[in-house]
Chain A
Amino acid sequence: MSTIQVTNLTKRFGDMLAVSGVDLDVAAGEVLCLLGPSGCGKTTTLRMIAGLETTSDGEVRIAGKRVNEIAPSERDIAMVFQFYALYPSLTVAENLGFPLHHDKLPQAEIDNLVSEVARKLELTDVLHRLPGYLAEGEKQRVAVARAIIRDPNCFLFDEPLSRLDVELRQTMRGQIKEILDGLSKATVIVTHDQLEALTMADRIAVMRDGKIEQVASPHDIFTKPKNLFVAGFIGTPQMNLQEAVLTGFEGDKGTFQVADQTVAMAVDPAVQNLDSGSKVTLGIRPRAYDIIEEAAEDTFSAEVDLIEPMGAETLIHMMESGTDVRVVIDRTVRLEQGERVHMRCRPEQAHVFNTEGDRVFS
C-alpha cells in the first residue's frame, strides 16, 4: 500500500525548532496539502519525508516501513521541486529517463517509458531540448513527468505551481489533479497558496511555527476552522475577526456587545457554556453577510469606507469604531461611500473564538 505516516516529526536547527511534533497520515490515493505561511516548517517537513533532511525526532513510515535511516533514493518517492530542479545539462528525454537508470532498466524499456510519459504530458515535441530552452509550463510538465515515470510509492510536491502565471496555474492544477487521481498514490503537496490547497487537496494540514494547527478536508477547514489562525489564514478576503463580549444566551442565539452595538446571533450551542461577560472573538466571513434595509436586533451597522469592485462581486470595507469590517456583496448592489448600512450574518456562519483563540463548538 502506498501510504505515508509521520509521527511526532521534529526538526531542530541549533536552538531553533523548525518542526515540532508533526503527526500526519496520508492514505493511498489521498492528496494532503501542507499549507502555511513562509517559514512555518512545511518544506522542512516535506524534506524530512523525502530523506533530504535528517529528523531530530519522530518517525517517517512509507508503505508501512520505517524509512528514517534509508537514503532518499531507496525510499521510492518522487519529488517535484519548487524550481523544478531539472538537470540543466541533460535533454528533456534524458531528464525523464534519469530516474530509471537507478532501477537498471534496459535502454529500450527506458525509451518506451519516456515516450509514453512524454505523450501523456504533451512533451513529445520538446524531448530533444535542453531545459534552458523550455517555457515555464513545459518545465513544470517535465518535472511532473520525471516524477511519475518511475511509478514510485508516493509523491511529494514542493510549491509546484508557484512559478507559473495565473492562467497556466489553473491548467496545471487541473492536469496535476487528473494525473494524481489516476495513480492512487499517497501525495503530499506543500503550498502557501490556499486556492491551490483548497482545489487540489483531499485534506489540508495548516501549519504555523512548526506545528500543525488543523488537519481537515478543504470544506471543513473553511467552514469549521479550529482556531483564530486557521480562520484568518484560510479564505479571501480574510474572515472578519472582531473583539466582542458575550452578554447573554437565549434559545440558539448569543448576544454580543460588538463595538458598542448589541447584536444577537445564532451561534454554536456550546457558546452558552461560556460565562456571561467573557471576552470572545467573533469570526464572520465577508460573504456571510446580507445587507438589509432596516436595523434589527440581529444586525450590525457600519459606515461604508472603501469600495473595491472585484468583477462579479464588490468588496466593501466598512468602518465602525475603528475596526474594519469587510463585506462582499453582489456587484448589482449599489452603495455609496459614507453611507450607513445594516448587515445581518447568515445563520451558522458566525464563529465564536474564546480567549485562547480556539473556536467554541460542540
Chain B
Amino acid sequence: MSVLMSLFSRKERRLREAGWGWTLFAGIISLIYFFPVLWIIMTAFKTRADALATPPVFFFTPTLDNFVAVFYRVAQTGSGEAIGTGMGGFFFNSIFVASAGVFLALIIGTLASYGFSRYPLKGNDTYLFVVLTTRMLPPIIVIIPIFLMFRMAGLSGSYIGVILLYAAFNLPFSIWMMKSFFDELSPDVEDSARMDGSSEFGVFFKMCIPQLKAGLAATAVFAVILTWNEFLFALLLTSTDTRTVPVAMARTIGGEIGVEWGLLAAIITLFLIPVFGVTYLLQNHLLRGVTFGTIKK
C-alpha cells in the first residue's frame, strides 16, 4: 500500500508535473484505446491459422505474406501465376482524391472564412449556420440526389467528381474552423500593413496566412482523416478506375472463402501509414504554431 501511495504522492517533484503513478495510469488507458489498432497491425503479420486461433495468440512468427497478397494474388486458373490486385492504384486514388479534395477545401474555406471574419455580411451568423446545415444531414439521405446529379452532369466515376464532392464535404467544417482562427488574429496587424502600403492580397497572403500555419495544419489534419476514411460516397460515385481504398477494402470482406482477416489487416495497416504520416508531420507544426506571435489579448 505504501508503495502505491508513494507512486501517487506529490512530494519531490515540480508542481503540475505528473508522477509515475498517473503516467502509468494514463498509459494503461491509452493502451486500451490503442489496442484495436495494435491488434490489427499484429494480425497483418499473422498466418491465417494464427489470425483465427482461439484463444488469440500474442506471440507468433511474423510473415509478410499478407502484404504481398494485398498487391498480388495467385491466379485461380492456370499455372499459379501472380496477377496484380490493382490495390496500388486504389492507394493512389485515395491519396490523390483526398489530397486534392482537402487542398481545394482549404483554399476555398480559408478565403471564405477570411471574408466571414473580416467583412461580415448582414446576418453573418445565419450564413455560417446555413453553410453548416449541409453537413447536418446523414450522407445516406443526400447520396441519392447527389448520385443522380453526378450521373446527369457526367461526373459519376470521374476523379473530378469525387474531388469536388470531397471539397464540398470538407468545406463547411474548414470554414468554421478557419474562421475561429481568423477571429483570433489581431486586425491591427492587418491595418498596420495596410498603412504601410500592403495591398489587400498582400495583407491576406503575407500577414494572415503565415500566422495561420498552425490553424491550417489543424484543419488539414481533421479534413484528411475524415476524407481518407470516407466510404459511402466513394462506394457509389467511384468507378473501377477511381475506386478508393475503403471501397476496395470492403470488397475483400465478402470473399467466397470467408473473410481473409490477415489480408484485410494488411490493407488497413498500409492504409494507416499515410494518415499517420500526415498527422505526425503536421502535429509538430500544430504545436509550434499555437503561440500566435506578438499579439496578446
Contact = CB atoms under 8 A, between A and B. Distances in A.
B10 interface: no
A86 B193 contact: no
Interface in A240-274: none
Given A83-B294, A132-B291, A88 B195 contact: no
A50 interface: yes
Determine which residue in B193, B291, B292, B296 has the highest number of CB atoms from chain A within 10 A of its CB, and name it.
B193
A215 interface: no
Nearest to A163: B296
Given A131-B293, A132-B291, A132-B293, A85 B197 contact: no
A88 B197 contact: no
A11 to B, nearest CB: 16
Contact of A81 (B191, B197, B293): B191
A223 B193 CA distance: 41
A77 B195 contact: yes
A103 interface: yes
A116 to B, nearest CB: 18
B128 interface: no
B66 to A, nearest CB: 47
The contact size tier of chain B is 20 to 34
Nearest to A158: B188
A79 B188 CA distance: 10
B93 interface: no
Contact of B192 (A81, A134, A139): A81
A150 B195 CA distance: 11
Contacts of B206: 87, 89
Contact of A102 (B197, B295, B296): B197
Contacts of B207: 87, 89
B293 A83 contact: no
Contact of A85 (B191, B198, B210, B291): B191
B60 to A, nearest CB: 51
B256 interface: no
6 contacts: A52-B195, A73-B194, A83-B294, A85-B191, A87-B206, A132-B291
Given A72-B191, A88-B293, A134-B294, 9 more contacts: A73-B194, A73-B196, A79-B191, A81-B188, A83-B188, A83-B294, A85-B192, A87-B193, A130-B293
